[in-house]
Amino acid sequence: MTTTAVSQHQTKWWSGGKSPFNVEYGKLMMWYFLMSDSFTFGAFLISYGTIRFSQNYWPSPSYVFNTFPGAGEANLPLAFVSLMTFILIMSSVTMVLAVHEGHHGNKSGVVKWMAWTIVGGLCFLSCQAWEWHHLITGHHAVLVDPATNKIEEWGQSMRHNPWGPAVENMTYHGEKVTRPGPVAFGGYFFGITGFHGFHVFSGVIINVIMLIMAQTGVFERRGHYLMIEKAGLYWHFVDLVWVFVFLCFYLI
């Protein structure tokens, strides 16, 4: 019924007397903020793409991201990041369920699903902390100087990238030796996943505030759960950005 009403009025929305967007002010502004934020992330990712296209060699993600907490040296390419992606999709689902309960004014439902969303966000942040720690403190044999066969053990950092082309016929304590990889890899990886992680972190803070407000009955007294919808938009955006971070850093 609503859809037919909308299509009837579609061309007359601009004639004044009503908002042409049919969206509450704060929610509309949240949309515009997210649109501008998508340009920020887009600029970062496109800059990464530009640098990557300007290099003759770029490390394959399956070699860089092949470890899992507790699995030691087992070669499990992309396994851990799949878990992180699953956690984030799952927390997006619990968020949309909280919004759904909010539409029906169901306070206990909102509180329950917001709590699960926060748990999901914290799990994701923990995973990212482990991954960063693992990359930074890793030891990978790198042929620093081919003239003297000088080998150093590097972790992934902003200055060092141990994931260069493999050196043939050379091993170091049983491990294959590589040449230094493109330095930009570390800066982009830590910069972009860090910026995304900061969004997740602030999203968790916002969700905690929303949870407290829902629990104490602020939204119930207000008569609507629009704030949950706005926090939900932000949280889904964080998930949306991860789709592209996952694409650019881990898959291709």
Partner 1 sequence: MEHANVATEITIHHEPSDSTKRIWKVFWILLIITMVELGLGLSLYALSLPEGLRMHLIKGTIIILSLAKAYYIVSVFMHLGDEIRNMIMTIVVPLMLFIWFILAFIYDGNSYKNLRNKYDPYYKERTTEQKEKKAETPAQPGGKD
Give yes or no for residue 151 binding partner 1 (CB under 8 A).
Answer: no
Sole binder of partner 1 in the list 74, 205, 209, 247 (CB under 8 A): 247
Among 29, 40, 57, 137, binds partner 1 (CB under 8 A): 57
Size of the site for partner 1 (CB under 8 A): 80
Among 44, 84, 85, 127, binds partner 1 (CB under 8 A): 85
Q: Does residue 106 belong to the site contacting partner 1 (CB under 8 A)?
A: no
DSSP state of 11: G
Our CB check for partner 1 shows the closer of 133 and 247 to be 247
- Shortest Å, Cβ 190 to partner 1: 20
Closest CA to 117 of 101, 143, 136, 94: 94
* Pairwise CA distance, residues 246 & 28, whole Å: 28
- Per-residue tokens: 250: 């881990």
**161 phi/psi in degrees, rounded to 5:** -130, 110
- Alpha-carbon distances, residue 66 vs 82, 104, 185, 248, 250 (angstroms): 11, 44, 16, 16, 10
Subset of residues 216 to 235 that bind partner 1, contact rule: CB under 8 A: 223-224, 226, 229, 232-233
**By CB under 8 A, is residue 80 in contact with partner 1?**
no
DSSP secondary structure code for residue 149 in this structure:
T
User: Rounded to the nearest 10 degrees, how much is the dihedral formed by the CA atoms of 80, 85, 90, 93?
Assistant: 180
Binding track, positions 111-130, relative to partner 1; x by CB under 8 A: --------------------
Question: Which residues between 168 and 207 bind partner 1 (CB under 8 A)?
Answer: 168-170, 179
